[in-house]
Structure 1
């Protein structure tokens, strides 16, 4: 069921918490971040009528609203339930102003989140993700919504979604960056713990980690991972014992390939196609055990648009002050590996968690 959440500010900057919350420091202020709070907890049907076959987490900004602009973590557990948490953030001139943003940010959970979302007050025929039966509906869309004329460009929420480990449907994850200010660029990172689902991820210049889980039975629906970023650092992990078909592409000047590269390191890999051109480079192939008609085959793909030096501040505690330099690194590489991520959870993989 949907849970109403009373938002109380938790300051991530200990010194800032000593300040008068009504006293502004500067026009832009400083970053603040709340703690994780459960917004939705509901059973999920995985078989029969009404079973969950498709879920969207996050989305692009629409008409000045509905942008999560933060990290997305997807975890799995043995229960047939979904749990959705938000961790709100904002940059504000005082604690009180940040809290005002937090109180107006909420989870938007309605069927049809893959199309243009609508504020709840403007819906003629609303279909919430959790209906009268109490079970999560198929084609649910989970977005961040700001209750106001427009969502502040520096405000949003990280999302943490826990799904049944048996879920093997489609999962679409979309997030964006907060990059308005040169001294505080909060990148939207993504982490998908080992999954049997068919996953697509869109991000900008953050970090993406995604792992394929071994199917619980074979053959079954083909597990798949697809990552697409701008100058994002992309990591895909598959089990060494699972046959894998992979394809990667880098959509930029080949001269940058020396810094941002495609790096497949899969056991028994065979490169079936490679192209290194002036505007695009690609590597495709197969890896893993020899073909078996009874075995499942994973499909993984990754695409980076460019290679660039990316500045970032992963959490408010790492902020170095107004008009100061942030950490920066070259991003845009694609990494494929066997069993390199699955022993680490998202809390360990994502910086700032």
Structure 2
């Protein structure tokens, strides 16, 4: 997936021409450039001490918004979770950019609701004794985080880590002619996943060894009991991807193993009619599986498709396969900037593509 590294400016000042604004609303003027910092390692610790890893957030209390891409890779032979951060901003000089970078830092605590860090919170730092979850946010050291400031996250996780992964980001639309979309990529997923974003794109590839009940100690016994309801595990592994109201995303989920039992639900929730030529599709590649039953209610519906794949039969309960639940709230042409290099933030012309297509496949990523 092509990474989006581009931030947005603050809302344009009230003027005939588009000019950027400082935090107090005054005009900065022409000559603005995109500045992207180097990658910096901000967190490292033993993966087996973490049950839930949460990366990124939307704007909370005028702070903590990353507004960037999130890239997660499960790495063979690794034992630690490693998080890297890459700050970005828009400024008139490297000096101004460095000042902005100096105000942005990684916030890493076992605290679900972020707040200004202080020494009394040290016992809740990620990987501290008796912590089990880790929340990673972008913290801005100031009263209000400027909309031009944010960060990308790059995460390495050991292959087979079956903890819960929660990823949240948002687009930065501070200046209309510079649409910075934030994408999400997860390669080698082995546990539960929740993704929430705006109109970025998403690519998820499952580990072919993913367990049916990720994180449940009775997974193997349940497999041997043909997924009987009383086998000791209650919830199958869940992969959920959704975006905010009115947003459109292309989403691809690569199941990697065609032999597992899956319950798949794809839906574009935009408004369509029978006469629409412009439509987004929901596609399950049934040809990749030995047994793939499409819900007949949606068999001829382009934008919605549900399927039960490789259902093993009783005593397993239909609909309790590895759950893939993917939705796009809309279907529309989306403007985006693919590469910040050399882009004129005042006069540049963004690219445009239809977004809202949903796809489930095997070995396509």
Output the TM-score relative to the length of structure 1. Answer: 0.78
Which of 139, 155, 170 is equivalent to 1:176?
170
Q: For 1:120-199, what aligned pairs fall within 5 Å after superposition?
A: 120-121=117-118, 127-131=124-128, 133=129, 137-199=131-193
Q: Are residues 25 and 153 of structure 1, via their aligned partners in 2, closer, same or farther at CA, if it must alter by over 3 Å?
A: closer
Q: Are residues 321 and 217 of structure 1, via their aligned partners in 2, closer, same or farther at CA, if it must alter by over 3 Å?
A: closer
Tell me the distance in 2 between the aligned counterparts of 1:106 and 1:314. Answer: 25
Q: Of Structure 1 and Structure 2, which has the larger fraction of its residues in strand?
A: 1
Q: Secondary structure at the match of 2:173?
A: strand
- Corresponding pairs, count: 306
Output the TM-score relative to the length of structure 2. Answer: 0.76
Which of 91, 108, 114 is equivalent to 1:117?
114
Q: Are residues 217 and 122 of structure 1, via their aligned partners in 2, closer, same or farther at CA, if it must alter by over 3 Å?
A: closer
- State the partner residue of 2:40: 37
1:182–1:323 contact (8 Å) kept in structure 2: no
What is the aligned-residue RMSD (CA, Å)?
2.9
Gaps of 5+ in 2: 1-26, 213-218, 221-232
- State the partner residue of 2:359: 335
Q: Which has the larger Rg?
A: 2
- State the partner residue of 1:270: 293
| Residue 234 in structure 1 maps to residue 251 in structure 2 | yes
Tell me the distance in 1 between the aligned counterparts of 2:327 and 2:277. Answer: 13
Q: For 1:180-329, what aligned pairs fall within 5 Å after superposition?
A: 180-215=174-209, 219=219, 222-229=236-243, 230-238=247-255, 239-255=257-273, 258-266=278-286, 267-268=288-289, 269-275=292-298, 282-288=304-310, 297-317=321-341, 319-329=343-353
Q: Are residues 75 and 149 of structure 1, via their aligned partners in 2, closer, same or farther at CA, if it must alter by over 3 Å?
A: same
Q: Are residues 168 and 26 of structure 1, via their aligned partners in 2, closer, same or farther at CA, if it must alter by over 3 Å?
A: same
| Residue 75 in structure 1 maps to residue 73 in structure 2 | yes
Tell me the distance in 2 between the aligned counterparts of 1:287 and 1:228. Answer: 22
1:2-35 Cα distance to aligned partner (Å, 9 max, x none): xxxxxxxxxxxxxxxxxxxxxx994471211112
Q: Secondary structure at the match of 2:156?
A: strand
Report the Cα offset of residue 179 of structure 1: 1.3
1:184–1:319 contact (8 Å) kept in structure 2: no
1:254–1:277 contact (8 Å) kept in structure 2: no
Tell me the distance in 2 between the aligned counterparts of 1:144 and 1:293. Answer: 47
Q: Secondary structure at the match of 1:102?
A: helix
